[in-house]
Every structure is written in structure tokens, then in C-alpha cells.
Amino acid sequence: MGLAFLTPAFLLGLFAVAVPVLVHLVQRQRRDAVPFPSLMFLQRIPIRETRRRRVRHPLLLAARCLGVLLLAVAFARPLLPDATRVATPLAGAREVVLLLDRSYSMGHGDRWPRALMAARQVIDGLGEEDHASLLAFGGTVEEVVASTSDRARLRGALEAVRLGAGPTRYAPALKAAQERLQATPRPRHEVVLVSDFQKVGWQDEGPEDLRLPEATTFNPVDVAGSDFDNTAVAGVVLGREYASGRERITVSARLVHKGRALRRDLAVSLEMDGRAVETRTLTLEPNASATVAFGPVALPPATTRASVRAAVDALPQDDAFHFLIAPGREVSVLVLEAGGARPQASLFVRRALEIGDRPRFRVEVKPLGALRAEDLASRAAVVLNDTALPPATAGHLLRSFVERGGGLLAALGDRGGAGAGAFWSPSAPIDRGEGSGGTLAFLDYTHPVFEAFKGPRGGDFTSARFLRYRGLKDESSWRILARFDDGTVALAEQPLGRGRLMVWTATLDTLWSDLPLKPVFLPFVHQLMKHVAAYAPPPPWREVGQVLDVAEEASSGDGPAAEVRVVMPSGRTLRVPASGEGRFLTLEEAGFFELRRGAEPTGRPVAVNVDVRESDLSVLNHEEVAAALTRGPEGRERRATVDRDATPEESQSRQAWSWRLLVLALALLTTEAWVANRLSRVGSVGQPNEGAAP
Amino acid sequence: MNQADLVKPGRFLDPKVLARISDLELLARTVVDGFVSGLHRSPYLGHSMDFAEHRGYAPGDDIRRLDWRVYARTDRYYVKEFEADSNADFTLVLDVSRSMSFGSEGLTKLDYARILAACLAYFARAQRDRVGFAAFDTELVSYVPPSAKHLPAVLHAIDRLAAGRPGQLAGPLLQVAEASRRRGLVVLVSDLYQDPEVVLAAVSSLGRRRSDVIVFHVLDPAEVHFPYDAAQPFEDLESGERMSVVPEAIREEYRRLVEAHVASLRRLLGESRIDYTLLETSQPLDLALFAYLTWRQRLDRVR
């Protein structure tokens, strides 16, 4: 194969090589003239023309001419003979890896049918000795059919492949193809990628990070077409408010429109339990986004399935956004005081917890001696506020409560050290009243209690002064979350059963410290109680591809279920064991899942949405992908392997010689300009210097 | 002993330093006094009304020159002799054409010519010569007739000089010659950018009334040595014409032409008994002053 040019007309630019020479010969001096008293003698010297034509810097002139020549050749797009093509086997059995993109963006228009048709053609084109494997991929890769020469099996498996709801990730699929090609004994390798070549598919790992084995033909089949318009409901924001003692929720949906067309009168509806509650219309500009705010809705007593739906377009998968609306979960806290405690011993902690609604705390204060088992039912946390260690009965109740998953916070005061240390071993009170008092010197900002305060101006704990506090005798079994400036433990945590135990070694009133008077006290108590009570509101929605712990999601106060039936959005039902590794379920569909314990007719819903990043249908030039994937190990362009029957134009587009020549020409001309400039700066006697004309 | 031996080079102030003195009279006095004080011998005695010697009266002597005081003391007749007091015209003719505004090292040829003219005028007046002044480019732009009282006017005229238009010699010099009524000395200061024959014809007109003529050919060192390196256009200061030049290639040829021009001027003017002195603006002023003194010496011999 000889040297050819795709756009040979640009070779006419070779005549431009004469330009630097002509410029040199006929150039006019454009620099400032040197004033001279008289040209009388200069005009008598008959050497003006001939001397100017003398080349002073032949290398510079040669560089200019070469730069022009390279530019002309680069624009002519040379098609160089491919040395590696000889090394590529032209005969023998093929190992074909067929990668079929089934991400939900393939549901746009007629992409999926076209993709299936292209895959069928690949299968039909297999020779008798050729082998092929079929891999379907989205966010993950599934080997539909391992390497086989059975075309009927391949066709049957292809028909069984369904469009998924996941995003596009090319890297795992290409790596899987790479592994299969490396293991095959067949001499000819081919990768066929049937996809819409979305740009978002390369977000984590670009094509330049991947490389197919040597002598592999990469054959991209682009089914994206020319329609890239798409509107998606990208997400919702749920705002809660309390009005007239009732909790209301306000839904705001964000819509994103990608494309060049104007989307007029787009209807967007809020549905709750499958019933449209409110519909709004809006107009979306090209490549714009908008927010639709629906009116407030009174929260139903039970968890409600809700969706925001936009009018269906060419890609219906992202036209609805599903979520759950549940009443705000209250955190019930029981504060236990010692009998005969100070009237205001629990005032500060109670008042602090009564403020705020994210979450709402329901606080009840009781003396420790009046504790009954029913007092702990449906409690999330218990605070032992400056009481002696619980007596045997109460202690047993509390231990049982914590082991079942409850939370216990002990605030130690004068009475906190009395009794046998069933849960903790407090030290004697440390008196810091003589000086300015003790301060909190260490806070574990990685812990959820203090994580909210790690930002700048996130809360000043150092301003609080502690006149007395206790410590813990056995620190080793505790996770220390805070210490005073003398190293004494201020806050410690210990798991106990399914619950957790926390100890605050000072009082929660103003008897031992002024912390309750500081602004940081309220958020501190809130964070503390949320952690003790293991408060974690369930997410209103999840995303396709996430893994769900079915056993945990389906558990209730009645204990874990033996088996969970998962009713999927498509209507299929899965039986998932409630224990062991099998209890994890990968969410592969968008919509509402329902987790039913045992034989229950209804279950707990889980809302799942598609990854909205996939809604961006912007494409990556598959020729660039091909060029990157088939690059040689030294970064050398290996060959135009995209298509064995590729035309010179297609092959040329997959190689980079033109760019290299362009870069070389620019580098040459830049260097020439720099050198010429340097030469021109070689000064003459007391005069401005002239450029180094060659 | 030649002139160069009498006054060592660099004895006088550098022209570039002199150019900073704005008062021309002060400048001229500084230079001339310094020059005179450097003369250790008397062959270049200046002429003034100063007494020279007594000699015995001889029949035919003018009795007005008898020294009656000596007669009263000695009862003999003595004639009082003075140094020559010619009252000769000393006319400075200065070229103020545009080409005189050239200067490669800060000092233009016109600056140099102005200093030179001021010094010569001051020196001449100190010798009791009648000082006159003319400036020209294509025509006469300033003229102060010679007079014993015109030194301030001459210095003032010199001070106001500015180069402007292209120049030519023939017309203006003829005008100066026609305005001159007495024999004397005409000093021409110019860069003489014309053919030697044309220069000779023009300068010769100054000697019509048997006046002596001294030509000071003032050139900048860059005009003589052509030190340029970079190829660049050169623009004629007078005509505005431009010409691209590769100095490296033509330097030697240029220098040869300048030397030939100077040699031709020296030869032609010498043959016409016109003193010619080439001055580079980097040189001190002593050469010019010596040229003037040489002429005065010649005048002494005439008395």
C-alpha cells in the first residue's frame, strides 16, 4: 500500500513554499527607518538589490519552507502504509466479542431495535469456524452467551436480552472483551460494540485508559442516530412544614431538557398512590432546566408512593421520578432523674430537645425509681440524667432495652458515681473550680455526633467552662469521643447488643458547667440524641444499580423475617432469604419495589429511579474511541482496524498522522520565529535592530 | 612644531559636555580662555590695542605715533608700536540644513557647529575682529553684519538656530558674499553634502572680495565610519527618501566614498587657497581654534 492522500487538493499548498522565498526577495522593510543625513553616498553604491537577496540565515529560510510544506501535507491528510497490517492475520477463524449496550438510553426512539438488528447481522456474518460471545452491558456486564460457534444459540440468546434501566459504563464491558480475547486460541480477534456511544459512559474511565489486544479489529456500530433531544425529571426536593399541628410536604421537581428543540407546554404531574394530585405545564428552552413546585400536601398517616411524571418523550425511562412520602418519624426519649433531683436538672436537655422538627423529639421525664418495662416500649433512647447506677431491676430493663437496639445516654453528676458499675465505672469528681475551669480540648470530628461541627464556625465548644466532671476508670473498652483539657474523658461510646451506650461525664444542667448556656448546646444535644437513638430516616428513593439489604429493609419490631418476597416494578416476584449473603438485592428496575415478609399481602415499598446522568444523550465520537482502543502499547497508532473493508476516508479518520504533521509544523514555525527573533536582537551599534531576514 | 603638539588632544572640554552649557557666551569664554591659557609660546599672539615696543623715530614715521611721555623723560623721539589692529571682518557662515540635525551619540552636528561658532565668535572678538554671522539652508535664514559690537547679537542668533529645511550652498553663500563689503575672514561650517565641484564653486564666491575662507567640514562619526550592522531602511533627513541597506555589505564601499569625497574637497579647496578642516563631532574644538589662529598669524605678516 503506497502513500495516498485523502484530500490531495491541499497539495496545491506546496506552492506556498515559494512564499518565504518571495517574501525574502521582495519584502519591504517595515521597521522604522534609520534617519541619516544624506543618502548621497549610499545611492552611489551599486549593490542594493543584489545584497538584499543574499541569504544570511539559510537554516531559517529552510525552516520556514519546511513548515509551509508540512502544513500543506498535513491538510492533504496522508494515508500512510500500515506496517502492522502485515502482522495482522488476514485468514483464519475469528473470535468475535459482541458487546451490546442495554443501558436505558438505548430505549430512546428506535435505538434498541436497531441495536438488535445490528447484533443479528454480526451473528449472521460469522463464518463456520468463527466463535462469538455475547455480552450485554449497562452499569454492569452480563455474559449472555460464552464463546461459541453456534449461531442459533447466539440468536436465541440475543432475543432474550432486554433493555435495562442502568446507566452506561463502557470500561467493564471492554475489559471483559479484552479478557476473552486474550484467552482465545483463534488467530483473528474482533470486538463489535453496538451502542449509542454516550459520553457519560466514559466518565469514570476514558477510552484512552483501555487498550484492546494486538491484532484486534474494533468494529463500532453506532445506533445513536441524529435525535438527541430528551427531557428528564432529574430529581425532587421534599420540604416539610407543620401547619395547624399537621405535617405537610411540598414537592419541587427539577426538569432538565437536553436538545435543540423548544419543549412547549410540557405537562408535569404529581401522583400519589397512582392518582394525579396536581398537574402543571411549563415550557423548556433548549438545553435548559426548570423547577416545578407543587402545592403543599398533607401527609397521609402511612408511607405513600409518589411520582412526578412529565409527558412521555422518545426516552420514557427518565420521564418519571419515584419517591416515598412518609410521616416525619418522631424520636421518643425518656429522661430518667434521680428521686429528689433538682427541679431544673433536666430542664435544659428537655427544652433543647423540644425545639426543632428534624426530627421531632418527644421527651418524657420520669424518676428512675418509677421506671417500668412499658416505659421503654417504643422508646428510641433513654437518658440517665445524674442518677445513680440503676438498681438491679431497672438495670436489667435498661440493658435489655439497649441490647434490643435502644440507646442509652448517661450524664454523670454528683449521683452518677453511686452504685455498682454495671454499665460503666465512673471516677471520682474532678474539681476544676479554683481556676478558670476545665474546657473541652479534644473532639472526635469523625464521629457522627461531632461531624456537623467540623466546619469553620461549626460550633465553639471551647468557650464552655467545666467546674467539675468525672471520668471513666476503664477507658480501653470505650471509644472516646471527647476529652477535657486535662485528658479526662468527656464523652465515650460503647456498643451493647444492637444498641449503643454513651456516657457524658458532666451534668446536662448548669450545676457543673455552663455548656447548656452556650449556643452549641442545642445542636450538640440534638446530634447526641440522634446518634444514641440511631436515628436514620429511610431514603425516599434509591437508584438503579444500588444494592439493598432486603432483610434489614423488611425487618420490623416483630423481628426478622425468614424470607422476603420482592415484588418488582415489572411485576416479577423474587424470593430473597432474610439472612446470609443472599439477602442482598441489586436494584435493576426503576419504579416501586415492594418487600413483603413471608406471606403478607402487602409490604414495605422502595422507590427506585434511573441514574439521571444517563439522560444526557451527548455522544462521543466512536472513531476516537476506536483510535484510542486500538492504540499500540507505545502509544503508536496501530492500525485502522475499525473495519476491514473500511474506505480510505474512514481509515484516515482513525489515524493521527495529519495531527502529528500539524503539530510538527507549528512547532517548527514557532521555533523558527523564536530563533529569528533572537537573531534580530543581536544588536548593532547604537541602533534599533532589524529582524534577521534570511 | 605642529598644532597638535601645542595642545594635546582632550585638553579642552568635550563637546558633549559643552553642549550642556546653555549660556553660549559663558561656553565660548570657557573654551577660549582655556585654549589661550594653554598656549605657552607666542607665535600665536593675539592682536589687540596692546602696546608692543618702542623704536627710534625715523623720518617718514607718522608723528602721531610718537610717544610724548618718553620724549618728556628722555628728550628723545620714540615711536610707539602696537600689535596689529586690523579691524578685519570675521563672518561665521553656518549651515542649518536638516542634515545638520543628525547625531549618533546625542550631540548633533548642529550642536557642535553652534558651539564652534560661538567659540570662534568670542575668540575673534577678543582679537578685536568685527564679528558677523549668517545661517542658511536653502536660503539665508539669519544674518548679522560684521561689527565690533555685534558679538551679543551673534551669540543670540546662534542660540536660536534650529535645523529645518534641506540645504544648498551656492545661493546662500553668494548672498553672504554680496553682503560683505570688506576684506576679512569667512568661516563656513557645514556638512557639505554636495559634490566637491559644487562646494568649490559656492565657497569660492565667498572669496570674491579677497576675503580668506576657512571651511569646517563637520561630520558625525557615524557618517564617517558607518558602524551600523543590521539590515534596515535608511531615510534621508532632507529628502525623506528611503533606501534599504545591508550595512555589513556596503560599509567598506561607503567609507571609501566618504574618504574620496573628503580628499576631493581638501584637494579642490586647497588648490583655491581655501583652508579646509574636517571635524568629527567627537573631537575637541582646538583644531578649529588653531585654524583660526593660523589665519590670524598670516594676517600679522601682512601688517
Domains in chain A with CATH codes: 4-80+658-680 (no CATH), 90-227+617-643 (3.40.50.410), 230-325 (2.60.40.10), 330-532 (3.40.50.880), 542-609 (no CATH)
Residues of A in contact with B222 (CB under 8 A): 686
Is the pLDDT score of A260 beyond 60?
yes
Q: Which of helix, strand or coil describes residue A575?
A: strand
Cell for A245? 399541628
The domains located in chain B, with CATH, are 3-41+86-302 (3.40.50.410), 51-82 (no CATH)
Give the range among A55-69, A108-122, A123-137 with minimum mean pLDDT: A55-69
- The model's pLDDT over A375-385, given as tens digits with 9 standing for 90+, comes to 888 899 999 99
Contact A466, A486 (CB under 8 A): no
Segment 103-132 of chain B within 8 Å of chain A by CB: 104-105, 109
- Assess A23–B contact: CB distance below 8 Å, yes or no: no
Mean pLDDT of A70-80: 78
CA distances from A200 to A171, A207, A316, A587 (A): 12, 12, 19, 20
Query: How far apart are alpha carbons A192 and A124 in whole angstroms?
Result: 13
The pLDDT value recorded for residue B18 is: 61
- The model's pLDDT over A472-497, given as tens digits with 9 standing for 90+, comes to 888 888 999 999 999 999 999 999 88
C-beta atoms of A37 and B241 within 8 A: no
Query: How far apart are alpha carbons A134 and A153 in whole angstroms?
Result: 10
Residues A434, A435, A436, CA angle at the centre, nearest 5°? Answer: 130
The pLDDT value recorded for residue A97 is: 92
C-beta atoms of A31 and B249 within 8 A: no
Contact B106, B18 (CB under 8 A): no
The pLDDT value recorded for residue A335 is: 93
Contact A621, A199 (CB under 8 A): no
C-beta atoms of A42 and B234 within 8 A: yes
Pick B197 or A206 by higher pLDDT.
B197
Query: How far apart are alpha carbons A176 and B212 in whole angstroms?
Result: 111
C-beta atoms of B233 and A686 within 8 A: no
pLDDT band at B251 (very low <50, low <70, confident <90, very high): confident
Residue B95: phi, psi to the nearest 5?
A: -85, 120
Mean pLDDT of A500-510: 92
pLDDT band at B250 (very low <50, low <70, confident <90, very high): confident
Contact B63, B79 (CB under 8 A): no
| Radius of gyration over every alpha carbon of chain A, rounded to an integer in angstroms | 38
- Which residue of A lies nearest to B257 if distances are taken between CA atoms? A41
C-beta atoms of A29 and B232 within 8 A: yes
Is the pLDDT score of B17 beyond 70?
no
- The model's pLDDT over B259-290, given as tens digits with 9 standing for 90+, comes to 999 999 989 988 888 888 888 888 877 777 77
- Assess A35–B contact: CB distance below 8 Å, yes or no: yes
Is the pLDDT score of A469 beyond 80?
yes
**Residue A457, Cβ neighbours under 10 Å: how many?**
6
pLDDT band at B20 (very low <50, low <70, confident <90, very high): low
Residues of B in contact with A41 (CB under 8 A): 254, 257-258, 261
C-beta atoms of B102 and A41 within 8 A: no
Mean pLDDT of B228-240: 83
- Which residue of A lies nearest to B255 if distances are taken between CA atoms? A41
Q: Which of helix, strand or coil describes residue B150?
A: coil
- The model's pLDDT over A211-220, given as tens digits with 9 standing for 90+, comes to 787 778 888 8
The pLDDT value recorded for residue B79 is: 87
The pLDDT value recorded for residue B46 is: 41
The pLDDT value recorded for residue A206 is: 63
The pLDDT value recorded for residue B210 is: 74
* Residue linked to cell 434521680: A338
Pick A106 or B46 by higher pLDDT.
A106
- Assess A557–B contact: CB distance below 8 Å, yes or no: no
- Assess A689–B contact: CB distance below 8 Å, yes or no: yes
Give the range among A408-412, B67-71, B229-233 with minimum mean pLDDT: B229-233
Query: How far apart are alpha carbons A308 and A294 in whole angstroms?
Result: 10
Pick A266 or A434 by higher pLDDT.
A266
Query: How far apart are alpha carbons A64 and A58 in whole angstroms?
Result: 10
pLDDT band at A15 (very low <50, low <70, confident <90, very high): confident
The pLDDT value recorded for residue B299 is: 57
The pLDDT value recorded for residue A523 is: 93
Mean pLDDT over each residue of chain A, to the nearest integer: 82
The pLDDT value recorded for residue A632 is: 57
